[in-house]
Amino acid sequence: MKQVITALGLMVALVMSATVSATPADNLKRLLGGIESLQGHFDQMVLDNSGTRLQQSSGDMALQRPGLFRWRTDEPFPQLLVADGQYLWLYDEDLEQVTRQDLDKRLDSTPALLLSGDLSQLEHTFAIVGPEQGGDGVYRLKPIDPNAMFSVMRIAFTAGVPQEIQLEDNLGQRTSVAFTQLDVNPELEAGRFRFIPPQGADLIIE
């Protein structure tokens, strides 16, 4: 009889564990945690609150955990944004100007840091709504900090890979970044995330 009761108890425990769904935060953390490095092409569009296009650009990106990324815009104006783990560098080629500032490592500071940053703070940084089964789909992240740079972020995943990030600010302006030609977990040279200001460029330290 004792063996029967034990077997029944194990069966109940297995059934109960099978019915517990992962939370959206669990699924998002699992998806992001599977990305140690990423590179590809992006197309970015900025719309005002009425849906009018304000800006469109494209370029290439690469990122590596923890906290390294390189974001180069080719069209219409060449710019380079590099996070080297300590500083954030912005190089405006047309103005021959470099801006350096301390890297804000909060996950809600830039979309690139959400993809490459420390995921242990994910649930403390955002209120997360999204798929509870499977993981793919659209996740809605609302920053807990009222002073965050955006009011809502949406990330769409297909086959475990981020396809698009949308940001919306408090004025209703929306930024959409669509990714293509993505290579997940490639070996990236450390030199891609180093930046040396070009000779003759003005350096601004903030």
| 38-97 pLDDT per residue, tens | 999 999 999 999 989 999 999 999 999 999 999 999 988 899 999 999 999 999 999 999
Question: What is the CATH number for 95?
Answer: 2.50.20.10
Q: Are strands 174-184 and 97-102 parallel, antiparallel or unpaired?
A: unpaired
**Domain encompassing residue 87:** 35-205
Q: Is residue 182 part of a domain?
A: yes
**Per-residue confidence band for 6, with pLDDT thresholds at 50, 70 and 90:** very low
pTM here?
A: 0.83
Number of domains in the chain: 1
Which tokens in the block code for residue 155?
A: 């990330």
| 132-181 pLDDT per residue, tens | 777 799 999 999 998 898 999 999 999 999 999 999 998 999 999 999 99
Please name every residue paired with 180 in a beta bridge, in sequence order, or none if there are none.
Answer: 41
Q: Is residue 135 part of a domain?
A: yes
Q: Is residue 20 part of a domain?
A: no
- The predicted pLDDT at position 118 comes to 87
Per DSSP, the residues of the chain read -HHHHHHHHHHHHHHHHHHPPPPHHHHHHHHHHT-SEEEEEEEEEEE-TTS-EEEEEEEEEEEETTTEEEEEEEESS-EEEEEESSEEEEEETTTTEEEEEE----TTS-HHHHHHS-GGGHHHHEEEE--SSSS-EEEEEEESSTTSS-SEEEEEEETTEEEEEEEE-TT--EEEEEEEEEEES----GGGG---PPTT-EEEE-
The answer to whether 39 and 62 have CB atoms below 8 angstroms apart is: yes
Q: Is residue 7 part of a domain?
A: no
Q: Is residue 6 part of a domain?
A: no
| 92-112 pLDDT per residue, tens | 999 999 999 999 988 888 889
Q: Is the pLDDT of residue 183 over 80?
A: yes
- The predicted pLDDT at position 21 comes to 61
* More confident call, 5 vs 25: 25
CA pair distance 66, 188, nearest whole angstrom: 13
